[in-house]
Structure 1
């Protein structure tokens, strides 16, 4: 190998080492509400945060989403006008976030959906766009959680996502434009630190991330994956790069499907 080739290899390896710590932390868009089981009608505050909640790590800057809506009894309601700019503080930094409201009135499921603008991750020289779903329910009436929303990248839950039992399993199906994705890489995130809605900052983490980097499962030939839920709390699943678009502004784009579920201990 000549000198120029050796220098290119050396600098390439160095760049990979510098980028590696950022790549081992999972980016997750949160649609966070203090409660997922709603007792009475009213506006439920929801905070949109782009963050690393397992490690209470770096908070990414959010721009106004392209779409923010809910699905209830099969009807879509635009909630983009409810969003107000705010900030959120993690252990490492403060960054832009959004605070909105979900009008919960009738009984049934409320599927929250965010389509964010692509986020440029400088350390990876790529854009990330996470199509994100979370779920609320009022009066224990299941109506919408089992139905796809029709997103370009989507995880369809096969367990009721707002009352999964700790110690049981969660199964989802990865879809791209409605079609199952075989061999999808799904990162798993526990919300070890939860947002404090009043102080707009992270609470202290209750656990630390496990060794070995991000927790990952793979979808099977029909797009299904299953993960054992070890403890109560909020769990997120991100199927990476499963959306149909792969480029944005001349750079690589990862369209991810994200879903948040809530697990409970039996008491």
Structure 2
């Protein structure tokens, strides 16, 4: 199924999947706009943040790095295992930090180990990007990172305005993927960086289940952003790898953006 990309900045048609909620890989820090140089704390969590739902045990990532001014900064030695506690359970997660020195964008990339989901009998690998910026100077946000699958933002991901739209392009091995479902998640419950616990969910998900938007014939999708905060988008099964340890693998592309109210 293809959806025609809006010629103007309209909201793409939404549909609802039957699932009650969506699991999303997080690379989270509450502050995305960095004023001073230093180490910025980050938490890596595999979770259901819309409704403060189930926390999945996260294995040590295969890769974790930042890209700044085109240069890759390996962050694997900055990972520390933690236990993150949500409303219903606790699960394995990771603390980390990103050295932010010069002005510009810092694209955080997490390549997690595949996670086995017993209820679906499949492995899930959500290759995730999120973004920091220092001093509002753009350097890297619009560039693809050469990942097996990724969502390329067409809006500056650290500076989306609530009430406007976000447009992305789904890529697999560098090529656009048409007609794919992209799950949409709002971070209604935000992690507490000190206690490794989830804050209360500030809103509840819509009653019909997970929000889904489709990519058009050129791999583009557009979603209207109704509320300030963190929004995640996951293009499901778009990666080139389809099997892991003899079972189906869903290799997903995830991107997190930050939306703001205009005061």
Please report the TM-score for the alignment, with normalisation by the length of structure 1: 0.91
Q: 2:230 matched to which residue of 1?
A: 234
Note the residue ranges of structure 1 that are not aligned, 5 or more in a row: 1-19
- Equivalent residue for 2:163? 167
1:202 is paired with a residue whose SS is: coil
Q: Quick one: distance in 2 between partners of 1:232 and 1:126? A: 33
1:126 aligns with 2:112: no
Determine which of 31, 39, 43 is the counterpart of 1:43: 39
1:245 alignment partner in structure 2? 241
Count how many residue pairs are aligned between Structure 1 and Structure 2: 247
Task: Pick the aligned partner of 2:89 from 87, 93, 96.
Answer: 93
Q: Secondary structure at the match of 1:44?
A: strand
Query: Per-residue deviation at 1:231?
Result: 0.4
Q: Which residue of 1 aligns with 2:5?
A: none
- Superposed, 1:1-267 pairs within 5 Å as 23-267=19-263
1:25 Cα offset (Å): 1.8
Q: Normalised by the size of structure 2, how large is the TM-score? A: 0.93
**Greater Rg over alpha carbons, structure:** 1
Runs (4+) off by over 3 Å: none
**Distance in 2 separating the partners of 1:43 and 1:198:** 15
The runs of 5 or more residues in structure 2 that have no matched partner are 1-16
SS of residue in 2 equivalent to 1:257: strand
- How far is the alpha carbon of 1:24 from its aligned partner? 3.1
Larger RCO (CA under 8 A, 6+ residues apart)? 2
**Superposed CA RMSD:** 1.0
Deviation at 1:55, TM superposition (A): 1.0
SS in 1 for 2:77: helix
Secondary structure of the equivalent of 1:81? helix
